[in-house]
Amino acid sequence: MAGDFFEGKVAIVTGGSQGIGAATVRAIAARGAQVVINYVSSADLAEELRDEIGEKAIAVQADLSAGEANTLAEAALDKWGRIDCLVNNAGKTAFANHEDLDALSADDFLDIYRLNVVGAYEMIRAVAPSMQASGSGAIVNVTSVAAHYGIGSSVAYAASKGALLTMTYSLARALAPEIRVNAISPGYVGTGWFTNRLGEEAKLAIDRHFEETTPLRRAGTAEDIADMIIPLLDDASRHMTGQAIVVDAGSHLDVGSSRRKGKEEL
């Protein structure tokens, strides 16, 4: 059972103070694991989440885009002496119309890749020795449906998530058999990020769009994604590596139509 697997394990969740990251932290801790909650600027949210979980969690500030992956690995090892699971959730984007080739600069691409791709790679490199020493480990990279279909907030974002997906395949091969590496590709997830950026009314309008148009008639939640990350970490997926699971209420089945309607907030 998942609860038995997570007892005594140690997990790191990057971008773990809010949204999908926070939901994943709660799900892992509820199953008995110790969790490192990574954050960059949202210290209050990270500390609140740590207090909510209690002694099974620590909050650690580290900016993966600035090469601070070792800070997280060292914090886990100093506190608990092992690392069993990694969820590479931290990411960023820039909003730009895909048809406007002047909307993004080279610096925009590099800024997004620095976190979404290079930061994730350095995080894997930081935890791999501990996992290899123990003989097992599980990594989940949070990509996006943008990686599969070239949609989303910008070309740079979609390309970065595509690169993260390709890296999942490469490292699943390279790190086997001790370490399993899989990916999860969420569609729209109605987190507070959308409320903060667009306002409550606009966020609710997007929710309604997906509730009305997806085959499952649902707008995704952070918990929906966390509930799919958990089995990729535990023994339920012991025979699985180098895979990407799309979790989007079936919206990819009509992705062309959704794009024409301008719903690219993925």
Q: What is the DSSP letter of 10?
A: E
* Cα 249 versus chain centre, distance: 18
Q: Which pLDDT band holds residue 246 (cuts at 50, 70, 90)?
A: very high
Hey, CA dihedral for 73, 65, 241, 248, is it positive or negative?
A: positive
**Beta strands 10-13 and 34-39, pairing class:** parallel
- Location of structure tokens 């490292």: 171
d(CA 226, CA 25): 8
Q: What is the pLDDT of residues 155-179, one digit of tens each?
A: 999 999 999 999 999 999 999 999 9
157 given a catalytic annotation: yes
DSSP 8-state symbol, 188:
-
Is the model's pLDDT at 73 over the cut of 70? Answer: yes
* The one catalytic residue among 113, 157, 169, 188: 157
> Among residues 148, 176, 100, 133, which one has the least CA distance to residue 246?
148
Whether 195 has a pLDDT exceeding 80, the answer reads: no
- Confidence category of residue 2, pLDDT binned at 50, 70, 90: very low
Residue 72 has pLDDT above 80, yes or no: yes
Model pTM greater than 0.85? Answer: yes
Query: How many CA within 13 A on the CB side of residue 227?
Result: 7
Strand spans (E) along the chain: 10-13, 34-39, 57-61, 85-88, 137-142, 179-186, 244-247
- Residue 189 near residue 221, CB atoms below 8 Å: yes
The structural domains of the chain, ordered by start, are 2-189+222-246 (3.40.50.720)
Query: In this predicted structure, what is the pLDDT of residue 194?
Result: 79
Residue 258: predicted pLDDT:
47
Query: What's the confidence (pLDDT) of residue 259?
Result: 47
Specify the pLDDT at position 256. 57
